[in-house]
Structures are given as C-alpha cells and as structure tokens.
Amino acid sequence: MTNPLFDALFAPNIGSERPFLILADRSQISYAAFLRQAAQMANALTSLGLVAGDRVAVQVEKSPQALALYAACVQSGLVFLPLNTGYTTHELSYFLENSGASLLVCGGAQEAELSSLAPRVLTLEGDGSGSLVDLSARQQKVFDTVPREANDLAALLYTSGTTGRSKGAMLSQRNLLSNAEVLKECWHFSPDDVLLHALPIFHTHGLFVATNITLLAGCSMVFLPKFDIDQMISALPRATTMMGVPTFYTRLLDDARFTKELAAGMRLFISGSAPLLAETHKQFEALSGHRILERYGMTETNMNTSNPYDGDRRAGTVGLPLPGVELKITDPDTGALLSNGEVGQIEVRGDNVFQGYWQMPKKTADELREDGFFITGDLGLIDEQGYVQIVGRGKDLIISGGYNIYPKEVELVLDAQPGVLESAVIGVPDSDFGEAVLGVIVPEPNADIQTDAIMEAARNELARFKHPRRLIILDNLPRNAMGKVQKNVLRETLKSALKATQ
Ligand code: MLC
Ligand code: AMP
C-alpha cells in the first residue's frame, strides 16, 4: 500500500539538494534537509502514540518548521489541522473540542493557557525552536511512510458557518493531490520556478495551492513570514511567480518602487480568495505589463476555476472550470439548471470537492448533494465564452483581506453584551482590505451603551480580523415585510461610515 499524497508531493524530493525554501535573509533549505526534518517530526509524533487518522491542531507562526510539520503529518497519516494565528483561546477551545485533536502545537507564550484544551501540547516558535523541535532532534532522520488510501483524510480546515458555528471541512488525499496536479499543469509550473510566498500557511491558498504545487513541480519558494512591502520589493527580482490576495496587488500598486523593471523576471501573477477589482487588474497591467491570472476556490473545494495561462485572462471573471471540475449554475430555490447568462448559485463537482463537514451530517447534507455537487454559496453566471463571473454571495459573508468573516459569529458576541437589543454586522468597502467589518447596534430602551466595553468583549472572544472597525448605534434595523434585516439597505446607507473616521 502507498500514501498517494506523500508519494507524489514529497517522496520524489527526498535526497534532492535543490533549494526548496529561500528565506528572507537569503539562506536556503534544500528539499533533502527539509524532508529529513519532516521525517524526524513524524518519528516524534508517532513516539507520542499518535496513529493514522488522529488530528494534529497547529496554531503557530509561519516558519520552515511549521511547514515540515505539515509534511510530517502527511507522512505519518495524521490529519493536519492548521489554525489562524489570530484565533483567541475562546475560538481555539471550540476547534479543539469539536475536532477531538490528540495534539496541539502552539507558541510557547500560549502553552500554559491552552494546555487544558488538548490531551498533549507541544510548542513551536516562529524562529524554529520549541519542544516539538527538541523532541524531533532526538529522532531518526528517516521514517517509514504510513500507508493511506486516496479517500483517507489529509487535513481538516475550519471554515466559519452562517449560523456562527465553524465547520471542519474534511479534505482527503485525493482532494488535495488532484487539485495540485491540475493547477501545476494549467499554470505551467516547472522545476525552474521560484514562487514568492508571503501568504499565511493556515489556509488553502498558502498551504495547498502554493505549497503543494511547488512540491509537485520540485521548484523553490521565497518563503517570507508575511506580506511585508519592503521584503516583497526586495524578493520580486528573485522570483518567477507570485500568488496573492487582491490586497497584495493593491499594496504593490501603491508603492513607487514597484515598476515594470522590478517585475521583469516574473512570468505569472495569480490572484484569488477575494474579488479582484477589474480596475486593479487594468492598473496592474498598465504598470507592470502583466495580466494577473485570477482563479476561484474555497476551503471545501480547493480551486474550481481559473483564467487561462495561454489565452484571454479576462478582468472581472474567474475564468473557466478547471479540468476535472464540473460547474453549473442553478436556481437557488428549486436547484434547476439555469442557462448561460443567468445568475444563480454556483455548484461544483469533482475530485477536488471535500468529503463533508466533520461530524456534521446535517450541514453536510444541506450543502453537498447526493450526486456529488457542492453548493458553494456564491452567486454567479457563465457567460457566452464559458467564463464564470461571480456576482455576489448567497451566504452572508464578509471577505476582508482574503479572510472570511461570517457576520452571525460577530453578531452573537455583540448581542450578548449588556444593553444591546440586537445587532447587524456588515461589510463596507475598504481600499486596502476590499471589505471591512462594521457593527450596527440597537440598544435596549434607555440603555447606556458602552461601545468601549463592547469592543473589549469582541477582543476577548474574536480574532482581530473579525473585530468591527467601528460600531454605529441606530434606533432600529431596516426590515422587509417578512421581518428580515435588510443588510443591503444598511450596506448602502453606511458605505461611507468608515471613511468618516479615517
Ligand atoms: C490583518 N488585519 C486584518 C486583516 N489582516 N483585518 C481585517 N482583515 C484582514 N485580512 C488587522 C491586523 O491585525 C491589524 O490590526 C490591522 O488589521 C492592520 O494590519 P496590517 O499590518 O495592515 O495587515 P497585515 O498584517 O499586513 O495583513 C494584511 C494581509 C493579510 C492582507 C497581508 O491579512 C493576509 O495575508 N491575508 C491573506 C489571507 C489568506 O491567505 N486568505 C486565503 C484564504 S483561503 P491592528 O489592531 O494591529 O491595527 C481561500 C480559498 C481561496 O479563501 O480561494 O484561496
Ligand atoms: P474560504 O471559505 O476562506 O475558502 O473562502 C472561499 C470564498 O472566497 C469563496 O466562496 C468565494 O466567495 C471567495 N473567493 C475565492 N476566490 C475568489 C475570487 N477570485 N473572486 C471572488 N471571490 C472569491
């Protein structure tokens, strides 16, 4: 028996002295060194008694060692469960309880506070030190890969839910591998490529799209801890490709050092995770000569569509369904197939589509049809050339700088505060993050609302990127005849509410 994901992504690179990671200080880590460390970590994890299928929750700063932990989990058949470093203890306790993770790997500063949340806790710091690394250093540098089936789980990624409860998307080895294979071909990745990697590695984009393609192609990544404009400008001449959320592109455009000459060695810029404004696409081409390739995906499905590598990359569209991905537009009420040009819900089917939500059969059945089509919650159309355009969201979702925020989760926190009768959380336009979070509060009669105390509560319970940038007090919320809050009305009337404070 084999381990398809490990065999395809990692095994061919064992012993290769080619550079895998090029760090900000220009030091390099070869594939051979990286995979030796991964093998040591796999030995360390199994020495703790972890067995195939166990979940390993990981909330650590981005580092080569954090990526080696992903490789170690694949090699030892453990289910990798990466978590945003911004999540609070309150948020983490839910993920750990819901997933039943056997091990939590976190930063040393959090260890004491989090130690009761998982049966075992190890530490890993951004500089590559910590008890996981100490334990690994004492292990063998080879590891007998644990066999897995293509349908076995490789990762569990939590995605927020419309009801406020996060759902663990179960991703199999086949889900990840099939998508990486298709994308590597479609985007022409070869061993000569150098990918500029400034995304976080706790989400699909930075972890699977960027990293898995690099591994499959056997190429290198300039591996930066985060998006830092100075580091980006300095690294661009050493790269051939870049993947980013739209904020990466608007920030590059805003910097006078970003010129055609700086991007001369680049062959491909890819954008996704949030809508790229057609205007940004055009400005970027005018300045750099590069047409950004926009693609569309999500945690549950990996990537679904992409603009073509050769051919017309059309601004304002997310391109064509990827090979092996079926995409259709259906009527949200009846599920009936709609014709090209008609707006409806986007449904997708293929090897890329996840296995369901962890221990949530009802939610899985709501979104994943028996015939394998997944209802994405995005609204769109297929135009005459077969390109997909996303025109809105059927789900109440804010995307800020590429991070998803489900308003319900924030509203539940606001509603629980003293003096708050009800609340509505909306996304309003933001030049840097695309959308920013705005909270609208209706006080109870005669209540003395303390917005500072409410923000403090939000800070304790929610990751920073979910915090409202401003709270607005209204006497009541606009409602339709059915009594449903009209968020579109709020979005329209409050679209400039943040600008007033900037
Ligand atoms: C940071 N902050 C954010 C934020 N990122 N607030 C809202 N939304 C965000 N995305 C907060 C910080 O904590 C800080 O708070 C303040 O905003 C300013 O921060 P900054 O220094 O300007 O932000 P920065 O650290 O530079 O991060 C911005 C960013 C980052 C855009 C570079 O958010 C990022 O890397 N985003 C990528 C997300 C991603 O990978 N998404 C893929 C999901 S997978 P304070 O209080 O300190 O001022 C997916 C599927 C698919 O969607 O299709 O790919
Ligand atoms: P996530 O749940 O974090 O994986 O986010 C997935 C969501 O991001 C999708 O359902 C879309 O709403 C959105 N998304 C991803 N790529 C794009 C894109 N290129 N254009 C518009 N929205 C996108």
Please give the Cα distance from 271 to 253 (Å, whole number).
14
Q: How high is the pLDDT of residue 395?
A: 87
Residue 468, judged by CB atoms within 10 A of its CB (0-12, 13-18, 19+), counts as buried
pTM across the whole model: 0.97
Give the residue-averaged pLDDT of 158-178.
90
The two structure tokens encoding residue 498? 């943040």
Going by C-alpha positions, the residue among 304, 59, 352, 303 that lies closest to residue 205 is 303
Backbone angles phi, psi at 459, to 5 degrees: -60, -40
Going by C-alpha positions, the residue among 288, 228, 296, 285 that lies closest to residue 259 is 288
Residue 369, judged by CB atoms within 10 A of its CB (0-12, 13-18, 19+), counts as middle
For residue 161, is pLDDT > 80?
A: no
Backbone angles phi, psi at 420, to 5 degrees: -95, 120
Tell me the per-residue pLDDT of 239-266, one tens digit each, with 9 for 90 and over. Answer: 999 999 999 999 999 999 999 999 999 9
Q: How confident is the model at residue 160 (pLDDT cuts 50, 70, 90)?
A: confident
Q: How high is the pLDDT of residue 422?
A: 97
Ligand nearest to the CA of 205: 1
**Is residue 177 within 6 Å of ligand 2 at its C-beta?**
no
Centre of ligand 1 to C-alpha 445, Å, is 37
Ligand nearest to the CA of 305: 2
Please give the Cα distance from 283 to 290 (Å, whole number).
10
Tell me the per-residue pLDDT of 103-122, one tens digit each, with 9 for 90 and over. Answer: 999 999 999 999 999 999 99
Please give the Cα distance from 499 to 497 (Å, whole number).
6
Q: How confident is the model at residue 330 (pLDDT cuts 50, 70, 90)?
A: very high
Name residues whose C-beta falls within 8 Å of residue 361's C-beta, 6 or more positions apart in sequence: none
pLDDT over 70, % of the chain: 98
Please give the Cα distance from 394 to 77 (Å, whole number).
36
**Is residue 399 within 6 Å of ligand 1 at its C-beta?**
no
Please give the Cα distance from 354 to 175 (Å, whole number).
6
Q: How high is the pLDDT of residue 498?
A: 86
Q: How high is the pLDDT of residue 501?
A: 53
- Per DSSP (E only), the strands in 342-450 are 344-349, 374-382, 388-393, 398-400, 403-405, 420-430, 434-443
Q: How high is the pLDDT of residue 184?
A: 98
Q: Give the chain's mean pLDDT.
A: 96
Q: How high is the pLDDT of residue 408?
A: 94
Looking up tokens 């076995």 gives 152
**Is residue 403 within 6 Å of ligand 1 at its C-beta?**
yes
The residue contributing the CA closest to ligand 1 atom 15 is: 464
Specify the ligand 1 atom closest to the Cα of 296: 53
Q: Are 473 and 449 contacting, i.e. CB atoms less than 8 angstroms apart?
A: yes
Please give the Cα distance from 219 to 196 (Å, whole number).
11
Q: Are 106 and 59 contacting, i.e. CB atoms less than 8 angstroms apart?
A: yes
Please give the Cα distance from 463 to 410 (Å, whole number).
10
Residue 86, classed as helix, strand or coil, is coil
Give the residue-averaged pLDDT of 28-34.
98
Tell me the per-residue pLDDT of 262-317, one tens digit each, with 9 for 90 and over. Answer: 999 999 999 999 999 999 999 999 999 999 999 999 999 999 999 999 999 999 99
**Is residue 297 within 6 Å of ligand 2 at its C-beta?**
yes
Give the residue-averaged pLDDT of 448-462.
93
Tell me the per-residue pLDDT of 96-105, one tens digit each, with 9 for 90 and over. Answer: 999 999 999 9
Please give the Cα distance from 160 to 210 (Å, whole number).
22
Tell me the per-residue pLDDT of 58-80, one tens digit each, with 9 for 90 and over. Answer: 999 999 999 999 999 999 999 99
Tell me the per-residue pLDDT of 363-388, one tens digit each, with 9 for 90 and over. Answer: 999 999 999 999 999 999 999 999 99
pLDDT over 90, % of the chain: 96
Q: Are 359 and 381 contacting, i.e. CB atoms less than 8 angstroms apart?
A: no
Centre of ligand 1 to C-alpha 406, Å, is 15
Element (H, E) at 153: strand 153-159
**Is residue 302 within 6 Å of ligand 2 at its C-beta?**
no
The two structure tokens encoding residue 84? 């945003």
- Per DSSP (E only), the strands in 267-419 are 268-271, 293-298, 302-306, 320-321, 326-330, 344-349, 374-382, 388-393, 398-400, 403-405
Centre of ligand 1 to C-alpha 466, Å, is 10
The residue contributing the CA closest to ligand 2 atom 12 is: 378
Q: What angle do CA 144, 145, 146 make, to 5 degrees?
A: 110
**Is residue 199 within 6 Å of ligand 1 at its C-beta?**
yes
**Is residue 206 within 6 Å of ligand 1 at its C-beta?**
yes
Ligand nearest to the CA of 271: 2
Residue 347 to residues 78, 179, 358, 373, 479: CA-CA distances in angstroms?
A: 30, 17, 21, 6, 30
Tell me the per-residue pLDDT of 389-405, one tens digit each, with 9 for 90 and over. Answer: 999 988 899 999 999 99
Residue 388 pairs in a beta bridge with 382
Give the residue-averaged pLDDT of 416-442.
97
**Is residue 204 within 6 Å of ligand 1 at its C-beta?**
yes
Going by C-alpha positions, the residue among 114, 208, 117 that lies closest to residue 155 is 208
Tell me the per-residue pLDDT of 187-227, one tens digit each, with 9 for 90 and over. Answer: 999 999 999 999 999 999 999 999 999 999 999 999 999 99
Going by C-alpha positions, the residue among 335, 340, 334, 292 that lies closest to residue 317 is 292
Q: How confident is the model at residue 500 (pLDDT cuts 50, 70, 90)?
A: low
The residue contributing the CA closest to ligand 1 atom 16 is: 465
